Structure 1
Amino acid sequence: MEMLSFAIAALTALVVLYGPGCLLFRGLRFAWPLALACAPLASVSGYALVAALWGAAGVPCTATTVALPVILLYGLLLIGSKRGEQGGKPLRSSRFTWAMLALYVLAGLTVCLYVYGLSLGDPAAYYCRFDNQTHFNLARYFVDSQDWSVLHTTSGALADESQTGYYPAGWHLLVALIASLTGIELPIVMNALNGALSGVVYPLSSFALMHALFPTRRNVLLCGAFTAVGFACLPWVLLLKGQLLANLLSFSLVPAAVALTVSYVHAGARHHGKGLALCSILTIGFFGIAHPNGLFTALVFLAPFLIHTIADKLRHSRRLGPDSPWRRPLLVWFVGLAAAYALWQIMLFAPPLQQVVLYNNTGNLNLSWTEAAYAAAAFSLYPEQPPQWVLTIACIAGVIALVRQRRTWLAMPALYMLAVYAICRCVDAPYGLRTFLAGFWYSDPYRILCCAELFLVPIAALGLAAIASAVGRKLATPPPIKPIALVVGLFALVNFFPFYQEPPADRHSDVTGDHFVLTSGTAIGYMRYLIASGYDETEEQIYSAQEHAFVQRALDLIPEGALVINQPHDGSAFAYGIDGINTYFRHIDINGTTEQSRVIRDHLSEIASNPDVQQAVRDSGACYVLLLDQGVPFDEGVWLIQTGEDYQLGWQGLESLASATEGFELVLAEGDMRLYRITGIDGEENQ
């Protein structure tokens, strides 16, 4: 039954992402393949705009009130464009283009099924990492509050100061919309949405970019279907680190956003000004909703593209004299890069971006310069991740082909990101340098390597096509199999071979020795191993399967919506988002919490004798206390890596609570898990 729910949720996600956007882009005379690939940019932007308007007006957000206005608006645009005479008929696509689109989707779904789908085990499985406190709880609060505005984001925890504000909540909005349409439980919806983004949205988006860059190079387009899903870290590391779910949505559409600009420039931006302006607004809006560093990622690619395009046009311009200095590409590149640098500096010092740009991320500075260079060349994030040398060879061949074709600009974004990745992993890299080069990505090597792999997809595809051409030239007689099929087949066999063997315990990486260790298998197999381990309910997580089941039983014993005081470090920080129990604390970080919450954290166990505690609990409306690790010492428990040994110092009021504590009645107990009813509020009877 859960598998059916997962399939329904995934199909609903695709309809939600592609339906309205296709109407808009068809209205703008896009061919169907490009309209499909770019549709989520318009769909998500439309949903977020309507949700923000309803949030300001106090109108409840539901599937009907949010999706229907977007469908009607984009549908009217399509109807109006068909009645107009200036736009002409939409472009048509060849059978080959449709076949390539299908191949990209098929390749994406195949890899997604192996790496992600079959690794879940249970469609409702969840992964307890620090960032998911935000993602799970915000998505749940969107559903409960029916306010889906990205300007009103909050977990809804009463312990937090009553402030709402902006957060790139496009992913969370989509979860709420799909849940509203289907009524399926949130963990399944979240997993289904992640699968749709990884297996369909990102491959289709990559197809759009490949088609924009190589519209007539059939062999390159064919190879792109395999290189788009061939880099192991993208998108899978986004489901492992954090999780970085906002970036998953954002990065999945970066290639499509770039493809839009490239297509308009090639078609003549001057003649399509209105369409370009509308698409630019939608794209900027999308990244503001999904995650802004997707916009900076797109700009890193577009800067050399636009400079190259301007230099080429000026070199062939009839309006310039034969001796004009602007015919010299080097001068145009110098001026263009200077302008890009100036814009970069302005953004670095822009007040709204300071919190991100100045974030000093030192947690991953663990490599020497030699190891950092190796990690960049092998596309490796983890000590035991097998290198992807076959992709490295393809990328080198691609760069050589670009130099020969005088399209060197296409290699610049990827090479830049690889260099930044190496720098952001090196222990000797200065903070100022990392901030300047990668501040827009929190100087986070996980995000930065994903950016590099985004830009390496077309380079690797061109490299495979170049290798196939070289093989064809070397063969004296026509081979029984075409060189392109031979090269792609060998690449797929080596790169996607479904195998990874965990090294023995005595061969694991050691912080005192070499960072990288020899392993058996492929990087794709390694990512499947990591995801399967992370989502495995038989493995102990901070919010374990037993604790999840205990909370489910607790929900059957307490009134609906009853407020429950909890200790978030024991895993209950995830209980609201996953199970819907109304917890008081929904994050282990206590910065920005209320004075009332401090009294409860420090002195809850004194409720029978302390009037201040009684008043604080009474004002909060709390009726129950949930403890999932009562009496468990730090060295025996399972915690988030952000939980330190001194975490109990801020939670004495809950840590000292026991079954015999006056003012509490034991309702449910199992192992070290407890549910208490609060009885010590001046004799008041709690329901």
Structure 2
Amino acid sequence: MTWWQTVPAFALTAAIVFLPGYLVLRCWAVTGLVAVGVAAPVSIGVLAAAAIVAPWVGVGFGPLVLVVPALVLAAAGLLVRKARPKVMGIEGRVRRSPRSRWTLLAHLGALVIPFSLITVNLVRMIGSPENISQTYDNVFHLNAIRYILDTGSGSTLTLGGMYSDGARVSTYPAAWHDLVALVAQLSGLSIPVAVNVVTVAIGALIWPVSAIFLVTRVTGTRPVPVLFAGALSSVFGAFPYLMAEFGILYPYYLSLAVLPVGIGLIAMITGVGERNGTPRWLAGLALIAVTPAIALSHPSTFLALLLFAVPIFVVSVVRYRRILAGRRGAGRYWLLICTLVVYLVIGVAVWIRVRPSVEASGWSTVQSIPQAIGEVLAGGLLGQGPSWVVLVLTVVAAALAIRRQFSQWVLGVYVIAAGLFIVVSALNYPGVRHFVTGVWYNDPNRLAALVPVIAVVVCAISANWLFLRTRDALTQRYPRLAELKFTREATPAAAGVAFVVALLMALVGQYSSVNYAVAQGRPDYQPNPASNAPLLAPDERALLERLDQHVPAGEKIIGYAWTGTAFAYALGGRRTLTPHLAEESVPPEVTELMNNLDMIDRDPQVCALVDRLDAHYVLDFPGRVLWENDTFYPGLATIAANPRAVEVDRQGAAVLYRLTGCGGEPSTPGR
């Protein structure tokens, strides 16, 4: 399959992600770049939240899970809009003249630049659209998508039950899995192709739109900062590329892509960000709709949002002190102070409780504090090499901050994000480090990816300042340049100049950190040679993809998960007893079976286990073991010599066996 053949599926993904949310927002009288910027997380939030409710009302997972609640919310907006237009901010709203054609083209260019560059880079990293990321977490993610399609439930409350085939209820954030499952269901694509299509859509479409939205909460919607925001969203190696390779952390990847929208809405609600005519209470409702997209993608990113909100609230309180000066406003001001204190107390309590254990957070530091600071400034995190565009713009931002010409809340959020990365990657005080960054498993990779979410705003503000100062200097020397208008409505020449500058910034920014990140991620998708595949060799995958020709539905397969057999569910539609690599999730009876399968002739309890677990098939992949994991199961290691194991299918060294002689053995293999 070629990438061109995935274009219809990509268009479908874009429609799923943007159209429902945009419809809801427009019906609630949200317009312009606010509606466009907030649309994707609203759609994702509605899908993930509705997927939790759907099983309770007897609705199976499918397009109705998204369409019906979106239409209900849109209808509610129309009703409120008709009944209370003044409350919606429609009455009295200043009607602006339609945007000029050149301004609209400039805004479109702001998306075309990052879409083109990020798409090309992700395609270079992934290779074929059918490739899979051969990494630890991908086994669970791909199997979880199959589980949603099979069970008809995409609920976060039950997705973790995939480990036990639903026997034990367990939660797992399902927003990303729901999105991919819906794309696979509607497009008919295989799970790997659907995953890669969604990966490109998140990185090349959702992320740039979110970044543009957040930047415009500071700079307004003039063409120049919009163009620069889009272009600069493509120059960071740490995001989106690092999260399209490391882990692989697909849910975290999605949560970071929509995080800028949450930050921007909080800025609008508190009055420190541009609102573009959107009432604060309406921005608050939008935030409620966006929150599930963040929290049900990855809860740690929701905690990051709570943390990033602190400097926004502080700046807001300081501003309100000036507005509410005097006796009449004193009460309201102190109420705001008390609210902030309560928020901080609750936030600290949540911060302490909602985190993995120390044992599960074993990542260690990777560099010194000066190195970490240098990487933040240069935009090339975790050894990716400096991004010179980011370095120059960050230095300019520092100078503006010293001169107090920089947005204070943006600076506060940036300092927090940078501080988290410095602590996790360089601070050698385990207690302090775990308190500060334990929410992210003390993992430097996760916090490296968090930095660009706000660094893109810092760089866009600096780029806009440099551009305007350069224009002013040139205008003084060449007065005819004054005809170039870089206001809300761009002239053709102005739009063209700004687009060229933005494109050059983006192209120069591709070097070093971006290219390094793409090269670093390529081997996980495109092992070379194929025999050195970290988890699943081509012969092994070919065998898995025809499992349904030999293994009856409902039968489970025994296999050593770390050799790639765990992909049987995602790729072949047949469950294994070990659908994930986490060995602590393997039930005791499964471990007993894998250890004693060689005793099947001598111990009747082994056959009893085989029958009870409906596991009469064994996959033997004698190739590489991921991370050279040394767990040893005697019963699996000797399967080729087991007299009860009959070879059913083979591809190279990969073999599927059927266990014979047990009472519950299926009478006829096949579908």
Over the matched positions of the two proteins, sequence identity in percent amounts to 21
**1:677 Cα deviation from its structure 2 partner:** 1.0
Within-5 A mapping of 1:597-612:
597-612=590-605
Find the counterpart in structure 1 of residue 629 from structure 2: 644
Cα offsets for 1:631-655 (capped at 9, x unmatched): xxxxxx53322x533x11xx12111
Find the counterpart in structure 1 of residue 515 from structure 2: 525
1:669 matches 2:650: yes
**1:126 Cα deviation from its structure 2 partner:** 0.6
**1:222 Cα deviation from its structure 2 partner:** 2.8
- Asked if structure 2 preserves the Cα contact closer than 8 Å seen for 1:55 and 1:152, the reply is no
Structure 1, 341-350 or 228-237: larger mean CA deviation? 341-350
Q: What SS does the corresponding residue of 1:104 show, helix, strand or coil?
A: helix
Per the normalisation by structure 2, the TM-score is 0.87
Give the whole-Å Cα distance in 1 for the aligned partners of 2:500 and 2:300.
38
Find the counterpart in structure 1 of residue 356 from structure 2: 355
- For structure 1, the residue ranges without an aligned partner over 5 or more in a row are 498-521, 630-636
CA gap 1:284/1:537 in 2 versus in 1, 3 angstroms: same
- Asked if structure 1 preserves the Cα contact closer than 8 Å seen for 2:191 and 2:571, the reply is yes
Per the normalisation by structure 1, the TM-score is 0.85
- Asked if structure 2 preserves the Cα contact closer than 8 Å seen for 1:161 and 1:593, the reply is no
CA gap 1:261/1:334 in 2 versus in 1, 3 angstroms: closer
Q: What SS does the corresponding residue of 1:676 show, helix, strand or coil?
A: strand
Q: Which residue identity does 1:370 align to in structure 2? A: P
CA gap 1:467/1:339 in 2 versus in 1, 3 angstroms: farther
CA gap 1:58/1:326 in 2 versus in 1, 3 angstroms: closer
Find the counterpart in structure 2 of residue 492 from structure 1: 506
Q: Which residue identity does 1:661 align to in structure 2? A: N
CA gap 1:101/1:531 in 2 versus in 1, 3 angstroms: farther
- For structure 2, the residue ranges without an aligned partner over 5 or more in a row are 482-492
Structure 1, 116-125 or 367-376: larger mean CA deviation? 367-376
1:76 matches 2:75: yes
CA gap 1:262/1:376 in 2 versus in 1, 3 angstroms: closer
1:459 matches 2:458: yes
Equivalent of 2:167, from 140, 159, 162?
Answer: 162
CA gap 1:133/1:537 in 2 versus in 1, 3 angstroms: same
1:204 matches 2:205: no
**1:556 Cα deviation from its structure 2 partner:** 2.7
Q: What SS does the corresponding residue of 2:584 show, helix, strand or coil?
A: coil
Within-5 A mapping of 1:131-142:
131-142=137-148
Find the counterpart in structure 2 of residue 280 from structure 1: 287
Find the counterpart in structure 1 of residue 236 from structure 2: 231
Give the whole-Å Cα distance in 1 for the aligned partners of 2:227 and 2:503.
12
Within-5 A mapping of 1:393-542:
393-402=392-401, 403-405=403-405, 407-426=407-426, 429-475=428-474, 477-478=477-478, 488=502, 490-497=504-511, 522-536=512-526, 538-539=528-529, 540-541=532-533, 542=535
CA gap 1:576/1:656 in 2 versus in 1, 3 angstroms: same
CA gap 1:176/1:369 in 2 versus in 1, 3 angstroms: same
CA gap 1:583/1:400 in 2 versus in 1, 3 angstroms: same
Give the whole-Å Cα distance in 1 for the aligned partners of 2:410 and 2:603.
68
Find the counterpart in structure 2 of residue 257 from structure 1: 262
**1:463 Cα deviation from its structure 2 partner:** 1.3
Give the whole-Å Cα distance in 1 for the aligned partners of 2:278 and 2:464.
34
- Asked if structure 1 preserves the Cα contact closer than 8 Å seen for 2:46 and 2:292, the reply is no
Find the counterpart in structure 2 of residue 178 from structure 1: 183
Q: What SS does the corresponding residue of 2:296 show, helix, strand or coil?
A: helix
- Asked if structure 1 preserves the Cα contact closer than 8 Å seen for 2:389 and 2:509, the reply is yes
- Asked if structure 1 preserves the Cα contact closer than 8 Å seen for 2:143 and 2:579, the reply is yes
Q: What SS does the corresponding residue of 2:3 show, helix, strand or coil?
A: helix
**1:563 Cα deviation from its structure 2 partner:** 2.1
Q: What SS does the corresponding residue of 1:582 show, helix, strand or coil?
A: coil
Cα offsets for 1:542-598 (capped at 9, x unmatched): 111221012224443333453221111111122322332322211222324333212
1:654 matches 2:636: yes
Question: How many aligned residue pairs are there?
Answer: 640
Find the counterpart in structure 1 of residue 308 from structure 2: 301
Equivalent of 2:536, from 530, 536, 543?
Answer: 543
Please provide the CA RMSD for this pair. Answer: 3.2
**1:224 Cα deviation from its structure 2 partner:** 1.4
1:625 matches 2:642: no
Find the counterpart in structure 2 of residue 503 from structure 1: none
Give the whole-Å Cα distance in 2 for the aligned partners of 1:2 and 1:490.
29
Q: What SS does the corresponding residue of 1:127 show, helix, strand or coil?
A: coil
CA gap 1:366/1:349 in 2 versus in 1, 3 angstroms: closer
Give the whole-Å Cα distance in 2 for the aligned partners of 1:484 and 1:296.
37
CA gap 1:372/1:183 in 2 versus in 1, 3 angstroms: same
Q: Which residue identity does 2:566 align to in structure 1? A: A
- Asked if structure 1 preserves the Cα contact closer than 8 Å seen for 2:394 and 2:462, the reply is yes
Q: What SS does the corresponding residue of 1:305 show, helix, strand or coil?
A: helix
Equivalent of 2:563, from 543, 564, 570?
Answer: 570
Q: Which residue identity does 1:121 align to in structure 2? A: G
